[in-house]
């Protein structure tokens, strides 16, 4: 029997195969029902300020203007809670969805870096079932995953520019800038990463 031929069959090493496992892993580590919602303080603050803004009462929390957190995550969580009818369900769905987006972008970035199917599949499995994902989904503040996704998307977009493999630079730069802006509106700490990405793009243009 020719085992090498079997390994070369389509789907035998597909980076899509780890994703269902990653979804099940993330969904099951988040509690579906709890008398006390396991929401960390940052998540509660996001929900309060987001619900105030969605209700038309301004970006405020506890009767005062919200001056600490940027608006992207509060608005997203509050809108999802309004849609699902449950704050806990909204936080659960939000964290799982964005965490899977991070996994997909890790796979895309691995493919861009190596262009090798075997290494991309390894990266897919690591991103899908890595133990660190449990901490972000189960006890994160709901902003870590979307902020990370924004920076990873920017890296995926600018990678062809860094490799000088494309002449269509402006759409990619514009998309990367929007992704970095989204990451900043989730967590301002991502500004440093955005600066490094911008510096790398400028350096490759010389």
Average pLDDT over residues 90-119: 83
User: Which long-range contacts link 119-123 to residues 24+ away (Cβ below 8 Å)?
Assistant: 120/15, 121/13, 121/14, 121/15, 121/17, 121/18, 123/15
Pull the structure tokens for residue 73. 């995550």
Asked if residue 156 has pLDDT above 80, the reply is yes
Average pLDDT over residues 131-144: 62
Q: Which residues contact 86 (CB under 8 A, 6 or more apart)?
A: none
Please state, in angstroms and rounded to a whole number, the distance separating the CA atoms of residues 75 and 14: 36
More confident site: 153 or 58: 153
Average pLDDT over residues 102-126: 80
- Most confidently modeled of 22-26, 33-37, 121-125? 121-125
pLDDT digits (tens, 9 = 90+) for 61-89: 887 888 788 889 999 999 999 999 888 88
Pull the structure tokens for residue 153. 């998307």
What HEC string does the chain produce?
Answer: CCHHHHHCCCCCCCCCCHHHHHHHHHHHCCCCCCCCCCCCHHHHHHHHHHHHHHCCCCCEECCEECCCCCCHHHHHHHHHHHHHCCHHHHHHHHHHHHHHHHHHHHHHHHHHHHCCHHHHHHHHHHHHHCCHHHHHHHHCCCCHHHHHHHHHHHHHHHHHHHCCCCCCHHHHHHHHHHHHHHHHHHCHHHHHHHHHHHHHHHHHCC
Q: How confident is the model at residue 175 (pLDDT cuts 50, 70, 90)?
A: very high
Asked if residue 206 has pLDDT above 50, the reply is yes
- Most confidently modeled of 24-33, 47-56, 132-141? 47-56
Evaluated on CA atoms 141, 137, 172, 116, the torsion sign reads positive
Count the neighbouring beta carbons within 10 Å of the beta carbon of residue 173: 18
Please state, for a pLDDT cut of 70, what percent of the chain lies above it.
71
Q: How confident is the model at residue 11 (pLDDT cuts 50, 70, 90)?
A: very low
């Amino acid at each position: 029997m020719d085992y090498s031929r079997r390994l070369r069959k389509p789907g035998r090493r597909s980076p899509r195969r780890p994703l269902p496992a990653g979804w099940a892993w993330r969904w099951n580590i988040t509690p579906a029902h709890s008398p006390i919602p396991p929401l960390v303080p940052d998540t509660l603050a996001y929900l309060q300020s987001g619900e105030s803004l969605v209700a038309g009462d301004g970006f405020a929390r506890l009767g005062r203007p919200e001056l600490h957190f940027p608006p992207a995550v509060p608005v997203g969580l509050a809108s999802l809670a309004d849609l699902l009818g449950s704050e806990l369900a909204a936080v659960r769905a939000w964290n799982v969805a964005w965490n899977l987006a991070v996994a997909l972008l890790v796979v895309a970035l691995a493919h861009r870096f190596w262009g090798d199917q075997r290494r991309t599949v390894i990266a897919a499995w690591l991103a899908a079932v890595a133990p660190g994902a449990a901490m972000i989904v189960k006890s994160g503040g709901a902003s870590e995953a979307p902020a990370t996704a924004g920076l990873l998307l920017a890296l995926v977009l600018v990678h062809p520019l860094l490799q000088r493999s494309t002449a269509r630079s402006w759409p990619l730069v514009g998309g990367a800038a929007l992704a970095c802006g989204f990451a900043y509106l989730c967590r301002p700490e991502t500004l440093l990463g955005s600066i490094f990405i911008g510096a790398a793009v400028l350096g490759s243009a010389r």
